Structure 1
């Protein structure tokens, strides 16, 4: 399978596959965010999810994919630190703010800085039409966040720190997207990177969440939490795996922008699942997000 992905690099077919992977990642990432914001404490949900995908990745890392080259171990160490900081910031924001407010801010901050990072690290550039698309997409994302912030009635007393944490999370999104793109391109086999990334990334937060669970006076039932973790682990494979493969096949900046259509899916999930209201103005703002992504892709 790794040879097949490598054969698509730099080809028109590879660009179309990258497009599909980025959109798949967008949908799955919105679902992944909602799993962390649902009925369980975000830290417990994150720990269950990380434990699940770490355990599922372990046999592939040790027995299926080729062993990592020596130069990959420092790259894995860097990814471990960056993702740990990203998760801390995201969880802190989810605990303080409504999902449909903080999620767009997280995702809106990411693509702009990812485009800049891709230019600095990979020499990728956007033309004028694509920058217009980025502007349209960001207007939709931040407009959605501002509108939600004005209308939301829950967790208003902690909204300001939640928004600052969401901005910080967005910066980490840009950092890990660019860094992971570098990592998966540095590996001889992309699936070696993916298997070891998920195994290593799943080591820390299950320990932190487990300690928090044991200290609770009235902890939630373990069965539903484990089920959420299992589902989240599968979603994480699809979401993060798809965007990493997309960044190997095509431009990092374009993949990052397309992934931010996840904000549209997040708003739909917030409405359908979390029972957060959606009106015509929010629909129009979601249309801007989708239009911006289309302009970026067509402009390239």
Structure 2
């Protein structure tokens, strides 16, 4: 984890929190994700014109990732519909690093050393603390929590698949471009069938905000995929979950959600965990 890779992943974390906040801000989740996914298709096609075509051995990974991403977006829509941003986002992001560590060890043969393993564990403890504090004083909304946990599992799945795929592709930008195109057609196609003649009029009021979210989404994931060609999967997966701190700040400022000392303490655990991961890397 060089300083440049670390900076890229941290920038991706902030950018990711911002596009998720935009998706949460648009009341009709199908509208928001249609614009975000559709904008991704347009961006992907534009990038594809100027990049190499991914190697044949990368396409099984790319197609598998596209399928996982569609499930991820459906679950993310559901978790944002059922729960608060300050709860759904931390749970969804916080479940993935430990799962990625296990999957990367099994499928990519990347065994974390003691420092890195401790860092991942401490980071996940901090992220879990952020999420659990959000439930304090309230009866848990198990459907929302379940959707967020399932979202986290899909994040772990596509992180490992894309980490392997982008390495096999021979072109990070080409892999990103075609992944955006293949995964991005599903939700807009469903929305077009559902709204039929009202497709354009339904999207128009939120077009600017949704397309901004799309651009931020593409930038966030492009940075992560580039980083995955330069460092191991598990530390990157855990480091990018610092987006939860940005998400908590966004929730406090824009959605008027409480931040508080317990959540700050949990964020401190995350910082310690990142330090341990970087020491191990």
Common topology (TM > 0.5): yes
From the superposition, tell whether residues 214 and 246 of structure 1 become closer, same or farther in structure 2 (CA, over 3 Å): same
Counterpart for residue 237 of structure 1: 218
**Distance (whole Å) between structure 2 residues aligned to residue 30 and residue 215 of structure 1:** 33
Structure 1 position 192 matched with structure 2 position 159: no
Q: 1:125 aligns with which of 111, 119, 127?
A: 111
Tell whether the 8 Å contact from 2:29 to 2:81 is kept in structure 1 after alignment.
yes
For 1:20-99, list aligned pairs within 5 A.
Answer: 20-61=7-48, 63-99=49-85
Question: C-alpha deviations, 1:24-47, integer Å up to 9, x for none?
Answer: 111111112111111322221011
Superposed displacement of residue 74, structure 1: 2.8
Q: 1:267 aligns with which of 238, 248, 254?
A: 248
**Distance (whole Å) between structure 2 residues aligned to residue 273 and residue 211 of structure 1:** 33
Tell whether the 8 Å contact from 2:127 to 2:244 is kept in structure 1 after alignment.
yes
Question: What is the aligned-residue RMSD (CA, Å)?
Answer: 2.0
- Name the SS for the 1:150 alignment partner: coil
**Distance (whole Å) between structure 1 residues aligned to residue 176 and residue 11 of structure 2:** 17
**Distance (whole Å) between structure 1 residues aligned to residue 13 and residue 137 of structure 2:** 25
**Distance (whole Å) between structure 2 residues aligned to residue 247 and residue 255 of structure 1:** 7
Question: C-alpha deviations, 1:254-275, integer Å up to 9, x for none?
Answer: 1001001111110000011111
Superposed displacement of residue 67, structure 1: 2.3
**Distance (whole Å) between structure 2 residues aligned to residue 74 and residue 55 of structure 1:** 22
**Distance (whole Å) between structure 1 residues aligned to residue 257 and residue 31 of structure 2:** 22
Q: Which consecutive segments of 4 or more residues in structure 1 shift more than 6 A? A: none
Superposed displacement of residue 221, structure 1: 6.0
For structure 2, the residue ranges without an aligned partner over 5 or more in a row are none
Counterpart for residue 10 of structure 1: none
Superposed displacement of residue 283, structure 1: 1.3
Tell whether the 8 Å contact from 1:44 to 1:213 is kept in structure 2 after alignment.
no
**Distance (whole Å) between structure 2 residues aligned to residue 185 and residue 251 of structure 1:** 11
Counterpart for residue 186 of structure 2: 204
Tell whether the 8 Å contact from 1:47 to 1:210 is kept in structure 2 after alignment.
no
Count of residue pairs brought into register by the alignment = 280
Tell me the TM-score normalized by structure 2: 0.93
Counterpart for residue 142 of structure 1: 128
Counterpart for residue 209 of structure 2: 228
From the superposition, tell whether residues 221 and 83 of structure 1 become closer, same or farther in structure 2 (CA, over 3 Å): closer
Question: C-alpha deviations, 1:216-261, integer Å up to 9, x for none?
Answer: 9xx9864341112210111012111111111111111110010011
Tell whether the 8 Å contact from 1:44 to 1:210 is kept in structure 2 after alignment.
no
Superposed displacement of residue 204, structure 1: 0.8
From the superposition, tell whether residues 225 and 214 of structure 1 become closer, same or farther in structure 2 (CA, over 3 Å): farther
